[in-house]
């Protein structure tokens, strides 16, 4: 029997430890789909270890914000696992600390501090990245809000645990149009927030199309490690919300037995890898949108999210 | 746990999901840059409409609807898109810049129109015999977005496809309010579509023959 506090710590540890693994697996599968051999699955860990050993260079005119940004972002990513169902299907004590909106605020704070640190560096590409990230972040925000409205209308609360419990409760809840539309809209949001095609080529080194990736160009050493690790954690957190709240809230531990909770870790990583394969397939089957066409993608996500609310209002769909 | 809003039955949920797919393809048509992809989206939308008819036929055991589903599949998924695609191939025009407004603006306007149609049509005291009433609202929204497609895109193919998809919206609406309509009346609707295809086919052909483009902008010069 694990205490709730231990389980909560385990949720954070799962995200912290497994997120580079998830990135590694996705990068490997993506390379295979493109006919390349690809990096080792553990490559992100080696990269992080390398960056942590290197020295940190700070631009001449940069202030403390340049150093604080990555640290604040990293701590934000460590807080969010307290709020969302990573391993258990029952709410943990600290899960009531914040709802989906609260989790969204903390993720937004993380993104904001990374952008601030990038802007502080004075590097033109980093500044361009931070300005773009803020612009597109604001454009995708309405879709996120309407997804949250949908959840709130369905469950009359916006705690992620309850949305997951509702989807699990019966098949008709899981396939009701509003739920499907909200899940689809959130899928598009995750595509945007993890820097995937059609919004961004996440592995490219070409600055013209860069959004999120450009923000880390001026950081080095341990700070870069924190940023990379943070972005892997961000990706895994978004996967947790998409999988364990919307699409597949099954396979979570229902009791506090150590065995059940520990078993939930590989089950979740397996689900996340499955989702990662889907994202890699999307990456390989679509082309990147031109920067000024990205608003079309945002508009599509917005339409889907708003339709979810509309069908709920009119017919209980 | 907090009481959740009760979910619709599987039949209601399923039929609404299909009606939503019809509406979403209409939005996709609004955005699609290539005329060819617009026609393909129309075929996809018609597939959803015939799927809806089939879904109702299976769950409510209505033989007439099987025939309707089959007929509309043959006509709207296979024949009409083929004819239009063939016309397009002959005109050898790949891309017509026909967006009168930016895509995001168009989508926002359509969202407003769809919401309006959704609520106005949905609040009519219509007694739905077969399908859940929200599908009627969705059909209303779809018809309004189809109108916007005709208004906001200035090429002949969009006008034609917009008109055809208007008919798809009407089909969904007629499935909702009069699902058990005599087959002969439904067939008349479909033949109406065939007439429209002929008219628009001639229009595309003559227009392209005279102006060498599929854009309707040259027609503006005809105004006095």
pLDDT tens sequence across A71-125: 999 999 999 999 999 999 888 888 888 888 889 999 999 999 999 999 999 899 9
Residue A303 tokens read as 């339409």
List the single residue in A with minimal CA-CA distance to B119.
Answer: A314
pLDDT per residue as tens digits for the range A264-305:
999 999 999 999 999 999 988 888 888 888 888 999 999 999
Report the alpha-carbon distance of residue B220 to residue A219 in Å, rounded: 57
CB contacts of B3 in chain A (<8 Å) are 156
Give Cα B83 distance to the centre of its chain.
17
Please tell me the predicted confidence (pLDDT) of residue B9. 77
Closest chain A residue to the Cα of B108, Cα to Cα = A299
Residue A275, C-beta contacts closer than 8 angstroms, at least 6 positions apart: A239, A242, A243, A247
What distance in Å separates the CA atoms of residue A258 and residue B31, rounded to the nearest whole number? 52
How high is the ipTM of this complex? 0.84
- Inspect the interface and report whether the beta carbons of A175 and B31 lie closer than 8 Å: no
Q: For A254, what's the count of Cα atoms within 13 Å in the CB-facing half-sphere? A: 5
Which residues in chain B have their CB less than 8 angstroms from residue A156's CB? Answer: 2-5
Average pLDDT, chain A: 90
Q: Residue B118 is nearest to which of A169, A314, A316, comparing CB atoms?
A: A314
pLDDT at residue A317 is higher than 70? no
Nearest to A303 among B14, B107, B118 (CB): B107
How many alpha carbons fall within 13 Å on the CB side of residue A49?
A: 5
Radius of gyration of chain B (CA): 18
The ranges assigned to domains in chain B are 12-91+100-210
Question: Following DSSP, what letter does each residue of B168-214 receive, concatenated?
Answer: HHHHHHHHHH-TT--HHHHHHHHHHHHHHHHHHHHHHHHHHHHHSSS
A-to-B residue pairs, Cβ atoms closer than 8 angstroms? 102
CA distance A294 to A288: 9
Q: Is pLDDT of A206 > 80?
A: no
Write out pLDDT tens, residues A234-252.
999 999 999 999 888 888 9
> Domain residues for A281?
4-315
A184 has a pLDDT exceeding 70: yes
Structural tokens at position A224: 């870069």
> With a cut of 50, which residues of chain B have pLDDT below it?
1-2
Name residue A88's beta-bridge partners.
A253
Asked if B118 and A317 come within 8 Å (Cβ–Cβ), the reply is no
Q: What is the CA radius of gyration of chain A?
A: 19
Yes or no: say if A178 and A306 are a contact pair by the CB < 8 Å rule. Answer: no
- Return d(Cα A208, Cα A212) in angstroms, integer: 12
Confidence of residue A183 (pLDDT cuts 50, 70, 90): very high
Q: Give the three-class secondary structure for A286.
A: coil
Closest CB to B134 among A162, A293, A317 = A317
Q: Which residues pair with B155 in a beta bridge?
A: B215
How far is it, in rounded angstroms, from Cα A25 to Cα A306?
A: 34
Residue-level pLDDT at B74 = 92
Which segments of chain A does DSSP mark as H helices, in order?
4-33, 43-53, 64-79, 100-121, 124-155, 160-169, 171-174, 177-193, 221-240, 258-285, 294-315
The secondary structure element, H or E, covering residue B35 is helix B35-60
Give yes or no for B13 touching A (CB within 8 A). yes
H-run or E-run covering B69: helix B63-72
Contact B33, A185 (CB under 8 A): no
pLDDT at B180: 65
| Of A98, A63, A52, residue with least CA distance to A227 | A52
Determine whether A179 is exposed, middle or buried from the number of CB atoms within 10 Å of its CB (0-12, 13-18, 19+).
buried
Using a CB-CB cut-off of 8 Å, the residues of chain B touching A172 are 7-10, 13
Number of structural domains (chain A) is 1
Of A172, A299, A307, the CB nearest to B7: A172
Average pLDDT over residues A251-261: 89
Nearest to A316 by CA among A180, A177, A200, A120: A177
């Amino acid at each position: 029997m694990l205490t709730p506090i231990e389980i909560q710590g385990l949720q954070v540890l799962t995200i912290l430890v497994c997120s580079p693994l998830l990135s590694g697996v996705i990068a490997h599968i993506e390379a295979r789909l493109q006919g390349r051999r690809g990096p080792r699955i553990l490559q992100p860990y080696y990269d992080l270890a390398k960056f942590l050993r290197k020295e940190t260079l700070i631009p001449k005119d940069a202030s403390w914000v340049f150093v604080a940004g990555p640290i604040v972002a990293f701590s934000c990513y460590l807080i969010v696992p307290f709020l969302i169902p990573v391993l258990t299907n029952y709410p943990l004590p600290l899960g009531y600390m914040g709802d989906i909106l609260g989790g969204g605020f903390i993720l937004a704070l993380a993104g904001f501090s990374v952008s601030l640190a990038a802007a502080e560096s004075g590097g033109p590409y980093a500044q361009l990245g931070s300005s773009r990230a803020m612009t597109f972040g604001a454009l995708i925000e309405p879709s996120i809000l309407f997804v949250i409205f949908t959840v709130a209308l369905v469950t009359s609360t916006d705690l992620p645990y309850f949305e997951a419990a509702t989807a699990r409760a019966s098949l008709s809840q899981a396939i009701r149009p509003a739920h499907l539309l909200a899940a689809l809209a959130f899928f598009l949001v995750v595509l945007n927030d993890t820097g995937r095609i059609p919004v961004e080529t996440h592995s490219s080194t070409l600055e013209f199309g860069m959004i999120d990736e450009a923000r880390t160009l001026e950081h080095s050493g341990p700070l870069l490690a924190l940023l990379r690790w943070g972005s892997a954690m961000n990706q895994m957190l978004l996967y947790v919300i998409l999988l364990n709240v919307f699409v597949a809230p099954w396979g979570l531990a229902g009791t506090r037995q150590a065995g059940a909770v520990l078993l939930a870790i590989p089950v979740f990583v397996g689900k996340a890898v499955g989702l990662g394969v889907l994202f890699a397939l999307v990456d390989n089957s679509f082309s990147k949108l031109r920067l000024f066409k990205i608003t079309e993608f945002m508009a599509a996500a917005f339409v889907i999210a708003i339709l979810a609310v509309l069908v709920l209002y009119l017919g209980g769909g | 746990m907090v009481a959740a809003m009760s979910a619709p039955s599987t039949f209601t949920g399923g039929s609404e999901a299909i009606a939503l797919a019809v509406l979403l393809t209409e939005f996709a048509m609004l955005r699609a840059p290539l005329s060819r992809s617009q026609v393909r989206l129309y075929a996809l939308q018609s597939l959803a409409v015939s799927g809806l008819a089939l879904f109702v036929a299976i769950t409510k055991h209505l033989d007439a609807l099987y025939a309707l589903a089959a007929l509309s599949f043959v006509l709207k998924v296979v024949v009409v898109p083929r004819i239009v695609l063939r016309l397009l191939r002959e005109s050898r025009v790949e891309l017509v810049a026909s967006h009168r407004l930016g895509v995001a603006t168009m989508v926002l306007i359509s969202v407003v129109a769809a919401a309006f149609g959704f609520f106005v049509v949905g609040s009519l005291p219509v007694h739905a015999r077969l399908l859940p009433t929200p599908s009627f609202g969705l059909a209303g929204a779809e018809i309004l977005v189809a109108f916007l497609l005709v208004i906001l895109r200035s090429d002949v193919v969009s006008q034609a496809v917009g008109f055809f998809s208007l008919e798809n919206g009407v089909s969904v609406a007629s499935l909702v309010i009069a699902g058990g309509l005599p087959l002969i009346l439904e067939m008349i609707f479909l033949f109406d579509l065939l007439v429209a295809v002929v008219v628009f086919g001639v229009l595309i052909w003559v227009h392209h023959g005279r102006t060498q483009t599929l854009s309707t902008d040259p027609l503006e010069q005809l105004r006095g």
